[in-house]
Amino acid sequence: MHEKGFSLIELLVVVAIIGTVSVIGVVSYVGFSKSAKQQVVIKNHNKTVEWLELKALECLGTGKITYLGNKCSNAGCGEEQLVSQSCKYPNTWTLMMELGYNHIRHHFRNDYYYNSNNLNPWHRGRHIDANENPIWGQGCGKDCQDFPHGGEGVTCFYGDNLGGFWLWTNLGEGDLELEMVQGQTQYIKDNDPSKCLESRVQFPVN
């Protein structure tokens, strides 16, 4: 009694089915992976906005903010490394540059390097090679800084001439050039919400 084997056509059909299923699986995985990364950076963005909002309230109530300053130099920086800084400045430009660049920027940097917060899931390898996040600059993605790993998932923050701090997070859909009000250091909100998550936090102005 002879057992009948598979014909060439039947084998080709099986191979084609396996190939199709594999392609669908890869596409689904890539889509799921991208969506998961987007959820991470959205969560990080919202946490950073909440922190800035708390600092704005702290500034309004006490005239100062507390943040992770130069005392933070090792893993696990916490309450004992907080320093206090006045947030009362003569004009909004000084508020933006002094408080933002010289103090808030260092908080984000220290929280990133020593506490491993706000890590970018698009950047591979050791996270410290991917630069701090959020980073000081204007733009959404590679537009903000010339990142060696690309602009996906990057969060940038900067100030405007009205005493507000802006936060832009790239959602992995390509870089986005920000639009500005003509003649002002003021940005136009909601350029493209599918590419860039964008928020603004107002600080007290004297």
Between 114 and 43, where is the model more confident?
43
The alpha helices in 70-140, defined as continuous H runs, are 92-94, 105-115
| pLDDT recorded at residue 19 | 59
Distance from C-alpha of 205 to C-alpha of 126, rounded to nearest angstrom: 39
Name the CA radius of gyration of the chain, rounded: 23
* Residue 191: pLDDT over 70: no
Between 34 and 127, where is the model more confident?
34
* Residue 2: pLDDT over 70: no
**Which of 137, 165, 188 minimizes the C-alpha distance to 154?**
137
**Quick one: CA dihedral 158, 145, 41, 104, positive or negative?**
negative
- Cβ(65)–Cβ(55) below 8 Å: yes
| Domain boundaries defined on the chain | 10-202
Please report, rounded to a whole number, the percentage of residues in the chain having pLDDT higher than 90: 26
Residues contacting residue 39 through CB under 8 Å, at least 6 positions apart:
none
Mean pLDDT score, 10-36: 59
Which single residue is written with the structure tokens 């940097």?
Answer: 109
pTM of this prediction? 0.77
